[in-house]
Structure 1
Amino acid sequence: MSTSEYTKVYSGNFILVTRVKDELEAKGIIPIIKDEGESQRLAGYGSLNQGFQEVFVHNDELNNALAIVEQVKSEMESTSSE
């Protein structure tokens, strides 16, 4: 069994992932963005997940990253309900 040094903290469309990524980077956390749809497109396969991305952070930064993601999600929810 392999263990990863990275954990997924968020998934969503390109726009939302970009917002989360920017907030993480502003706090000194460098995320990894995984885009399966783009990988499949580049390999010549079709994808139903086009534009869907996942954000991963190093396990050492996980607690701080989760707090930032929760803050961004609550800000996005509050602006969408106005």
Structure 2
Amino acid sequence: MDSNYTKIFSGNRFMAQRIEGKLKESGINPVIKDESDSARLAGFAANVDGNLEVYVHHSEIDTARQVIKQIKSET
């Protein structure tokens, strides 16, 4: 991952997609990393738990953290 990006979340697909949607609503374009999908596309069978990782650019980290905080308070 580019060094200008920071991982803000790692977890299940449902929550990652929820975070992605909220970030986009806030004007942030996150990068989603899915190791299991990458392995599948490369032709490897991997024993991966299916977690996704959400990354944002360093310049957007403060806003992204507020979005994560808001989502956590709703659940």
State the TM-score, normalizing by the size of structure 1. 0.82
Work out the percentage of aligned pairs sharing the same amino acid. 43
1:63 is aligned to 62
Q: CA RMSD in A?
A: 1.4
Larger Rg: 1
- Partner amino acid, structure 2, of 1:12: G
2:32 is aligned to 33
Aligned length, in residue pairs: 74
Q: Distance in 2 between matches of 1:32 and 1:71?
A: 20
User: Unpaired segments of 5 or more residues in structure 2?
Assistant: none
Paired residue secondary structure (1:30): coil
Runs of 4+ in 1 over 6 A off after TM superposition: none
1:8 is aligned to 7
Q: Which segment drifts farther, 21-30 or 47-56?
A: 47-56
Paired residue secondary structure (1:54): strand
User: Unpaired segments of 5 or more residues in structure 1?
Assistant: 77-82
Paired residue secondary structure (1:4): coil
Q: Contact between 1:32 and 1:57, CA under 8 Å: does it hold in 2?
A: yes
State the TM-score, normalizing by the size of structure 2. 0.89
Q: Distance in 1 between matches of 2:44 and 2:69?
A: 34
